[in-house]
A and B are shown apart, each in its own frame.
Chain A
Amino acid sequence: MMDANDELRETFFQECDDLLETLESGLLQLQAGDGDRETVNAVFRAVHSIKGGAGAFALDALVKFAHKFETSLDRVRDGVLEPTPDILAVFLRASDILSDLVNTVRDGSEPNEAISADVLAELSKLVESSSDAVDATPDDFAPLTIALDLDLGDTEPGTGALPEATSVATSYTIRFKPHTGLYVRGNEPLLILRALAEFGDCEVECHILGERDFEQLEPEDALLSWDVTLMTSGAPEDLRDAFDFVVDDCDLEISPTIGADDTKSEDSDMFDAPVPVDMDSVPAEPLDAATPTTVDVADAEPGKKNIPETERPSEPALDARDKASQMRAPEAPKQTIRVDLDRIERLINLVGELVITQAMLTQRVHEVDMPQHASISEGLDDFKMLTRDIQESVMAIRAQPVKPLFQRMTRIVRESALSTGKAVRLVAEGEATEVDKTIVERLADPLTHMIRNAVDHGLETPEARLASGKPREGVVRLIAAHRSGRIVIEVADDGAGINRERVRNIAIEKELIAPDAQLSDSEIDNLLFMPGFSTAKEVSNLSGRGVGMDVVKRAIQSLGGRTLISSEPGKGTSFSISLPLTLAVLDGIVVTVADQTIVVPLTNIVETFRPNSDEIKRLGAGTSVVLVRGEPLPIIDVGHELGFRPPVELTDACVFIVTETHDGAQNALVVDSIIDQRQVVIKGLEANYGEVPGVAAATILGDGRIALILDVDVIVRGASTIPTTNSPSIALTG
């Protein structure tokens, strides 16, 4: 088990991702005030599991931090520490750092201790302050300890409350009697004993329980128990940690060894009683009140509470709590498996073939004159439906909720807020919305930029907000939703809105627009997307690193998406992006140009129309414009640009498609006819050929032929200016 091979390690890190997500969402839930006891438990379990896994792989830095984090969370779990917003803020930062640590460790680099030091110190402070609280509370445990005393005789009633840790080596006696269940769950006492041995000098004595004839021996019974005498300077709860995963499946008793009293007398007084070690973290209030979610279990064994603890040293309520941690997040009953992404890709490709073959088959059958309702037609219809179902199901495999992505954004907001000194709250909606995995991944950067932009430029300073009668805290809303077969993600702030005057002036200053240009409000807003535009007066360390919203826009466009901006002075600004659900298919309009079938991506299309011939105006030799509601749009002859034919004569028989490129420029593309609008499966040309200017990709039509997907941006920029593809290459040897 200690032999950590890479695969296990990788699994651990994958689990870490999930756990970190649980951790952060739990903390956020608590922060929002709708967390309950189970939320605290879930948060605790997440950190605990990370610690456990990190321990198994000897990732000490991770263990160290997670341990501290866990200890402080434990205080909250026990109700000693009230999860105030301040404390939660510390926890959130701790979770950021834990996530950083996991990432550095995963990369194999040395974690930078300096980063975690601050938060570690704060966590320690939390633990200390809460320890004080425990120590200061009147002693409610006295009866317990007295009861326990009876068993071992020579001790006096202790104070019950234990100090957090002793620095002097103390001798402990640990009685460990596994139940059958411990072995059933695949635990190994030897490993626990080894873990104990790491705390200090350790003597282990093994007992065989009961005398039985060999014939009657049940091979699966637990018949061994161990007595361990351990000299350690470690805290008793650390010893107990070694048993964390088995505590429900064994009888465990950890007590300072009687007679081995080499510690200060007041300390030994406290340790004299064989008190279960966990006691030090148990709140002073009645136990069942402190752990409401476990009341049932506690009530089920009411007698135990005041009964000598020799048989079951761990207190029932605590037991139940640990049981929950062993069963692992009971609120997430969904079963999942991890699958290699390549296999899914392959499956998706195959299903793409299936869809094409099905379409081809249908077309062929229709070509043969069939009597209506022939059984083959019915079979084909079923086949078609099945194919669609399979396609949808397969696509769903790649779909992922945007929640993890949104959670990363909460961190961005926190960091941006911290460095700008603004008070910001992120409100996320529609986190369950599912999108293709690749899109989720590639959205992270643009979204980060948008969020930073919203905090940095969108929101006003707290003072300015108060002055304009707004709440001090700014709100950034992050919303995801499905809308007509696409996903829409919106980043909206309630800030001052776009200062159009200033945007305009900057654009003029940077010579992006002519000084006398007449621009509508939305055109001014869209200036933000122009390359080289940045409204920040000084380059802040957040946004405005020489990259602007144009990068965001391009990133979104490369995903087949569009970016929209709307702003209202004093009310705020909203950026919304609309994306396809998957990258494997594309919505497009199928058109014919010079006898070729071509697909124009729908994301580029604004409208289609047939012009009146008097709307087409010549503008110099070989260029014309068409007037659309008074706007002159340059006419682009697709057939000519692709080199399929000489320029066509522009008449009212032509079909015009108004397209918009990522810089917002509109053009009218001339095509011969529009066939229909459909979803097509994207096939790259790069695999067997290479890039072709003006062609984004290819797709396979129902008849098995290939149609090219137009790269509108390139066509509009003038495919004719792109040099004809290179001449044959020089010989390669090999």
Chain B
Amino acid sequence: MIETDQNVLATQHEYIVFCVDNDEYCIDIRAVREIRRWTHATRLPRTPNYVKGVVNLRGAVLPVIDFACRLGLGETQPTPRHSTIIVEAHNQLLGLLVDTVSDILTATNEHMQPTPAIAADQVHEIVSGLIIVEGRMLRIVNVGNISPHIEVEAA
């Protein structure tokens, strides 16, 4: 589903842009299934604190990840104004709790930069690159690395 980085870089691509803690991030639009407003999530016991819980998406039970918390930026107190981006990674559906979804952006590879080496590991894992366009810096999110269970699933 998600093509290799080389492919992404080689061609023009569309990204969904969202904000977390006043920073801008983006996700390859091909990984995004839908965007919903925040609804109550049922807590799962003994999960990492960035797993907000599970929600019901038309009968499917899927986990919601607090994106800010996943990056180590502190837990979000969600309100109905928050959004959930439903993404698909490794054939699993996953909700990302974010502050707002702002934009759809088309970028070519000349806008893209690798993530600088100074970033913390936690960020490196999730931010696979940067898009610098008109003075904005968008962090490209690697959705495949968000869920804590992916290692198990892929093994």
A: residues with CB less than 8 A from B are 349, 352-353, 356, 596-597, 641-644, 683-685, 687-690, 692-695, 698, 700, 704-708, 719, 722, 724-734
Partner of B45, one of A689, A695, A734: A695
Docked complex Cα distance between A725 and B44 (Å): 11
Contact partners of A596 in chain B: CB under 8 A: 42-43
Docked complex Cα distance between A689 and B58 (Å): 16
Given contacts A692-B44, A731-B125, contact A726 B61 (CB under 8 A): no
Q: Which 10 A-B pairs have the closest CB atoms?
A: A729-B151, A642-B45, A690-B149, A688-B62, A706-B42, A353-B59, A689-B63, A688-B92, A683-B61, A643-B46
Asked if residues A726 and B152 are in contact (CB atoms below 8 Å), the reply is yes
Contact partners of B2 in chain A: CB under 8 A: 734
Name the distance in Å between B1's Cβ and chain A's nearest Cβ. Answer: 10
B54 close to A (CB within 8 Å) = yes
Docked complex Cα distance between A349 and B61 (Å): 13
- Which of B12-20, B102-110, B130-138, B140-148 makes up part of the contact surface? B140-148
Docked complex Cα distance between A596 and B41 (Å): 10
Docked complex Cα distance between A692 and B54 (Å): 12
B54: nearest chain-A partner, CB-CB? A706
Contact partners of A352 in chain B: CB under 8 A: 59
Docked complex Cα distance between A685 and B92 (Å): 11
Contact partners of A644 in chain B: CB under 8 A: 43, 45
B122 close to A (CB within 8 Å) = yes
Name the distance in Å between A725's Cβ and chain B's nearest Cβ. Answer: 5
Partner of A353, one of B58, B92, B124: B58
Asked if residues B48 and A684 are in contact (CB atoms below 8 Å), the reply is no
Asked if residues A726 and B46 are in contact (CB atoms below 8 Å), the reply is no
Docked complex Cα distance between A94 and B144 (Å): 57
11 pairs of residues in contact across A and B, judged by CB atoms under 8 Å: A356-B56, A596-B43, A642-B45, A693-B45, A695-B45, A698-B54, A726-B148, A728-B122, A729-B149, A729-B152, A734-B144
Asked if residues A719 and B46 are in contact (CB atoms below 8 Å), the reply is yes
Asked if residues B45 and A643 are in contact (CB atoms below 8 Å), the reply is yes
Docked complex Cα distance between A134 and B42 (Å): 79
Asked if residues A689 and B54 are in contact (CB atoms below 8 Å), the reply is yes
Partner of B59, one of A683, A689, A708: A683
B47: nearest chain-A partner, CB-CB? A725
Name the distance in Å between A519's Cβ and chain B's nearest Cβ. Answer: 35
Give B55-95 interface residues, CB cut-off 8 Å to A.
55-56, 58-63, 70, 92-94
Give B28-47 interface residues, CB cut-off 8 Å to A.
39-47
Partner of A687, one of B58, B61, B70, B154: B61
Asked if residues B56 and A689 are in contact (CB atoms below 8 Å), the reply is no
B22 close to A (CB within 8 Å) = no
Asked if residues B62 and A689 are in contact (CB atoms below 8 Å), the reply is yes
For chain B, the count of residues having a C-beta within 8 Å of the partner chain is 41
Docked complex Cα distance between A704 and B39 (Å): 10
B125: nearest chain-A partner, CB-CB? A731
Partner of A642, one of B46, B59, B147: B46
Docked complex Cα distance between A568 and B39 (Å): 58
Name the distance in Å between A177's Cβ and chain B's nearest Cβ. Answer: 63
Name the distance in Å between A691's Cβ and chain B's nearest Cβ. Answer: 9
Asked if residues A690 and B153 are in contact (CB atoms below 8 Å), the reply is yes
Docked complex Cα distance between A690 and B91 (Å): 13
Contact partners of A641 in chain B: CB under 8 A: 45
Contact partners of B149 in chain A: CB under 8 A: 689-690, 726, 729
Docked complex Cα distance between A201 and B42 (Å): 79
Docked complex Cα distance between A730 and B125 (Å): 7
Name the distance in Å between B130's Cβ and chain A's nearest Cβ. Answer: 16
Partner of A727, one of B46, B48, B60, B145: B48
Asked if residues A356 and B59 are in contact (CB atoms below 8 Å), the reply is yes
Contact partners of A695 in chain B: CB under 8 A: 44-45
Contact partners of A725 in chain B: CB under 8 A: 46-48, 51, 148
Asked if residues B61 and A731 are in contact (CB atoms below 8 Å), the reply is no
Contact partners of A688 in chain B: CB under 8 A: 60-63, 92-94
Contact partners of A729 in chain B: CB under 8 A: 145, 148-152
Name the distance in Å between A728's Cβ and chain B's nearest Cβ. Answer: 6
Asked if residues A704 and B56 are in contact (CB atoms below 8 Å), the reply is yes
Name the distance in Å between A731's Cβ and chain B's nearest Cβ. Answer: 5
Contact partners of A692 in chain B: CB under 8 A: 44-47
Q: Known A-B contacts: A692-B44, A708-B45, A726-B149. Give 7 more (CB < 8 A).
A: A687-B92, A688-B61, A689-B149, A690-B153, A728-B122, A728-B145, A729-B152
Docked complex Cα distance between A597 and B55 (Å): 13
A728: nearest chain-B partner, CB-CB? B148
Given contacts A683-B61, A698-B61, A729-B150, contact A724 B46 (CB under 8 A): yes
Contact partners of B48 in chain A: CB under 8 A: 724-725, 727-728
Name the distance in Å between A127's Cβ and chain B's nearest Cβ. Answer: 59
Asked if residues B92 and A708 are in contact (CB atoms below 8 Å), the reply is no
Contact partners of B59 in chain A: CB under 8 A: 349, 352-353, 356, 683, 700
Partner of A705, one of B40, B94, B151: B40
Docked complex Cα distance between A466 and B32 (Å): 76
Asked if residues B144 and A685 are in contact (CB atoms below 8 Å), the reply is no
Asked if residues B46 and A705 are in contact (CB atoms below 8 Å), the reply is no
Asked if residues B152 and A700 are in contact (CB atoms below 8 Å), the reply is no
Given contacts A644-B45, A698-B42, contact A732 B154 (CB under 8 A): yes
Contact partners of A708 in chain B: CB under 8 A: 42, 44-45
Contact partners of B40 in chain A: CB under 8 A: 705
B50: nearest chain-A partner, CB-CB? A728
Docked complex Cα distance between A705 and B94 (Å): 17
Asked if residues A687 and B42 are in contact (CB atoms below 8 Å), the reply is no
Name the distance in Å between B45's Cβ and chain A's nearest Cβ. Answer: 3
Contact partners of B125 in chain A: CB under 8 A: 728, 730-731
Docked complex Cα distance between A695 and B45 (Å): 8
Given contacts A353-B58, A708-B44, A719-B45, contact A727 B144 (CB under 8 A): no
Contact partners of B124 in chain A: CB under 8 A: 731
Contact partners of A733 in chain B: CB under 8 A: 4
Name the distance in Å between A530's Cβ and chain B's nearest Cβ. Answer: 29
Contact partners of A693 in chain B: CB under 8 A: 45-46
Given contacts A683-B59, A688-B94, A704-B56, contact A732 B42 (CB under 8 A): no
Docked complex Cα distance between A597 and B39 (Å): 16
Docked complex Cα distance between A596 and B42 (Å): 7
Partner of A731, one of B53, B58, B145: B145
Docked complex Cα distance between A685 and B47 (Å): 13
Given contacts A685-B61, A705-B40, contact A722 B46 (CB under 8 A): yes
Name the distance in Å between B84's Cβ and chain A's nearest Cβ. Answer: 13
Asked if residues B147 and A689 are in contact (CB atoms below 8 Å), the reply is yes
Asked if residues B152 and A690 are in contact (CB atoms below 8 Å), the reply is yes
A729: nearest chain-B partner, CB-CB? B151
Asked if residues A707 and B42 are in contact (CB atoms below 8 Å), the reply is yes
Asked if residues B148 and A732 are in contact (CB atoms below 8 Å), the reply is no
Docked complex Cα distance between A685 and B149 (Å): 12
